[in-house]
Structure 1
Amino acid sequence: MAGQTEKTNVMRVLEQKNIPYTAHAYDQLAGTDGVSVARQLGQEPERVFKTLVARGASGGLYVFDIPVGDSLDLKKAARAVGEKSVAMIAQKELLPLTGYVHGGCSPVGMKKQYPTVFDETAELFDTICVSAGKIGFQVELDPAALIALVGGTTADLTV
């Protein structure tokens, strides 16, 4: 993809907060599942994080960011946010609740800032990638800066 990568809302938020990032674009036709995206970006899947949204037993919404090749352990996720249980929200609820579509959901710039938990492995890397808020785009940045920006925490979240 030649020329300037289009700016997403996520990129604008990072720039406003003076958080350095590298934008990456990928070809959606080559696959939008996380592992395919990581491969296209030349990144290890452990460093590319997907953003998942779940509802707790109390009705509260939570955001979980985990490596693209992993699965969210709902029991660990519930423990991390102090809920009895959590369940993934229906795909049709994603856009109205977050402003993002499935495959382009980012922990940055949601309509409302929900409690956000990153898998503890995020802290093992100098940089990680998350969605730039639009299918076809990712941002790579310092996980500590990202976690601080969204007021996030870390926990063991994967199966």
Structure 2
Amino acid sequence: MIIRRSPHDPSVFFIISQDFLNFHRRHSHARKTRKNQCHASARPQKAAYTVYSYDGGALSGTEVASALGKDPERCFKTLVTVGKTGGHYVFMIPVAAELDLRKAASAAGEKSVAMLPQKELLPLTGYIHGGCSPIGMKKQFPTFADATIADGETVCFSGGRVGLQIETTLAVLQSVVPVTLADLTV
């Protein structure tokens, strides 16, 4: 599933199934470069979420949360790792927390995991550092979220570029990306 922006109203977003996108790409004569794979327009599915924008820059996750007036415990950062076997994994943890690599490896069923080098992030996911979203990556990787994500009504995470955040419920996020909950923080 991918979130895309409406071409007619930039404040409206749609959630699109991957099957529809694959069909559309195979049968489309004019291929367009997507500026933000987290947002586009086609065949909507109803989902409730809010998009926030802020002045991008070298802001930390806690600074983004305070700029949006959100609790840092409800704002999550997206981290991409590589396992000892070479598999890639996505982890969502609160912006003020630190990923425990041993707990992350255990959740992923790996002996160990390491953070993906920053230079490999864009070619692998299509996102840059500071704008990585669990939604709309070039390839869907196993995604894990810290168990605290279930503690509140909503969750905020990157909207696919620096300066953009999405707020939605865990149920909506799980309908778009299969997310496994686990204890992931130090």
**TM-score of the alignment, normalized to the shorter chain, above 0.5:** yes
Given that residues 5 and 25 in structure 1 are in contact (C-alpha distance below 8 angstroms), is that contact kept between their aligned partners in structure 2?
no
Q: Distance in 1 between matches of 2:38 and 2:44?
A: 10
Match of 1:97 in 2: 124
Give, as a single letter, the amino acid of the residue that structure 2 aligns with 1:87: A
1:41 partnered with 2:73: no
Match of 2:176 in 1: 149
Shift of 1:6: 9.4
Percent identity between the two aligned chains: 53
1:24 partnered with 2:52: yes
- Of residues 95, 99, 108, the one that matches 1:68 is 95
Could you list the runs of 4 or more consecutive aligned residues of structure 1 that deviate by over 3 angstroms after TM superposition? 4-9
Instruction: Considering fraction of residues, name the structure with more helix.
Output: 1
Q: Distance in 2 between matches of 1:38 and 1:11?
A: 21
Given that residues 37 and 137 in structure 2 are in contact (C-alpha distance below 8 angstroms), is that contact kept between their aligned partners in structure 1?
no
Give aligned pairs, total.
Answer: 155
Given that residues 118 and 147 in structure 1 are in contact (C-alpha distance below 8 angstroms), is that contact kept between their aligned partners in structure 2?
no
Aligned alpha-carbon RMSD (Å): 2.0
Higher Rg of the two aligned structures = 2
TM (norm. structure 1) is 0.90
Shift of 1:27: 1.6
TM (norm. structure 2) is 0.78
Q: Distance in 2 between matches of 1:18 and 1:5?
A: 15
Quick one: higher RCO (CA 8 Å, sep 6+), 1 or 2? 1
Unaligned runs of 5+ in 1: none
Unaligned runs of 5+ in 2: 1-9, 14-35
